[in-house]
A and B are shown apart, each in its own frame.
Chain A
């Protein structure tokens, strides 16, 4: 019985089908029957069916699943390196072996301060140290902005300083914030 084929087939969803490489020549070959006019019910069915079948055959080996998955893994490593600073090394190109292997889950441990999260952490530490005086892993400037402001306020309250000293202290604060 001759087959019909939808005219809107290009608008239909596609399936990603994994075909073992040794089977691919046979899968392509079996589609030959659908290249024939007699397989289809009408000339229109033939036109659309032939077009779809031959395009499928043409792209059957254009990009194998391994290459697709390798690119997905490469994208994961790109994100992990950029966000957290994970370094990877290539142990082998064929087959591709990259260490460390991709973990099922990762935590937020920052592995390199030059990563995106590392740079955000630097900013956080710098602000905490500069304003609050908190000694962090990377910054230990002293006195803090808060301490310097408090010293100015205390001096003014005690009337033990002149305006020149106050201005000098304010300039130091501005310098610390710049």
Chain B
């Protein structure tokens, strides 16, 4: 269900807990988890490039502080220009020296981006093309 974006995090979880209690009598299943997500919607999106596919993604692998598990970032409909063009891995391995890639990674590190365990990303290690849904 939709919760207005200006709802505070605390209020959102209070509302979620109330829904959890209310729904308990309606189901034989036991609730094990619920999720609140924040989404941004572009009201007037630009036209995508012809042939761009949301399944065709670049996955960036970033090292994390204290040698934690890697942090992953996916870019759907990735542009061919960020992959190396010659030799082994051409068209599939992200060119980590590409200026656009470097700028994107810098923005990630500024957040800072983390892995699912909360370890902060520290450096781009590699990236490659994946077909993901």
What residues make up the interface of A, taking CB atoms closer than 8 Å to B?
A: 21, 24-26, 28-29, 32, 35, 37, 47, 50-51, 54-55, 57-64, 66-67, 94
Chain A residues in 8 Å Cβ range of B116: 37, 50
- Say whether B132 contacts A29, CB under 8 Å: yes
* Bound CA–CA A63/B87 (angstroms): 11
B88–A29 touching, CB < 8 Å: no
A-B contact pairs, 26 of them (CB 8 A): A21-B92, A24-B129, A25-B92, A26-B131, A28-B128, A28-B129, A28-B130, A29-B55, A29-B57, A29-B131, A32-B130, A32-B132, A47-B69, A50-B69, A51-B69, A51-B70, A54-B69, A57-B59, A57-B61, A58-B61, A60-B128, A61-B93, A61-B128, A62-B126, A64-B89, A66-B88
Given A21-B89, A28-B131, 15 new contacts (CB under 8 A): A25-B56, A25-B130, A26-B131, A28-B128, A29-B132, A50-B116, A55-B70, A57-B59, A57-B72, A60-B128, A61-B93, A61-B126, A61-B128, A62-B126, A63-B88
State in angstroms the CA–CA spacing of A161 and B129 once bound together: 91
CB pair B130–A57 under 8 Å, yes or no, is yes
- B117 proximal to A (CB < 8 A): yes
User: What chain B residues lie within 8 Å of A63 (beta carbons)?
Assistant: 88
Size class of the B contact interface (CB-based, 8 Å): 20 to 34
B79 CB to closest chain A CB, in angstroms?
15
Report how far A54 CA is from B70 CA in the complex, Å: 6
Of chain A, the residue at the smallest CB distance from B72 is: A54
| A26-B131, A28-B128 as given contacts; A54 in contact with B89, CB under 8 Å | no
Cβ distance A93 to chain B, nearest Cβ, rounded Å: 10
CA distance A23 to B61 in the complex (A): 19
Report B-chain residues with C-beta under 8 Å of the C-beta of A21. Answer: 89, 92
Report A-chain residues with C-beta under 8 Å of the C-beta of B61.
54, 57-58
Picked from A24, A32, A66, the residue with its CB within 8 Å of the CB of B128 is: A24
Q: Are A35 and B126 in contact (CB under 8 A)?
A: no
Interface centre among A37, A55, A61 (most CB of B within 10 A): A61
A50-B69, A58-B61 as given contacts; A67 in contact with B88, CB under 8 Å: yes
- Residues of A near B55 (CB, < 8 A) are 29
Q: Which residue of B lies closest to A60 (CB)?
A: B128
Check if B129 sits within 8 Å of A58, measured CB to CB: no
Q: What CA separation (Å) do A24 and B61 show in the bound complex?
A: 16
> A94 contacts which chain B residues (CB < 8 A)?
86-87
Q: Could you tell me the distance between the alpha carbons of A37 and B129 in the complex, rounded to whole angstroms? A: 23
Q: Could you give, for residues 73-99 of chain B, a 1 whenever the CB lies within 8 Å of some chain A CB and a 0 otherwise?
A: 000000000000011110011000000
| Bound CA span A66–B89, Å | 10
- The answer to the question of B125 belonging to the interface, with a C-beta cut-off of 8 Å to chain A, is yes
Chain B, Cβ-Cβ closest to A50: B69
Specify which of A29, A37, A62 lies most central, judged by the most chain B CB atoms within 10 Å of its CB.
Answer: A29
| Chain A: minimal CB distance from B119 (Å) | 11
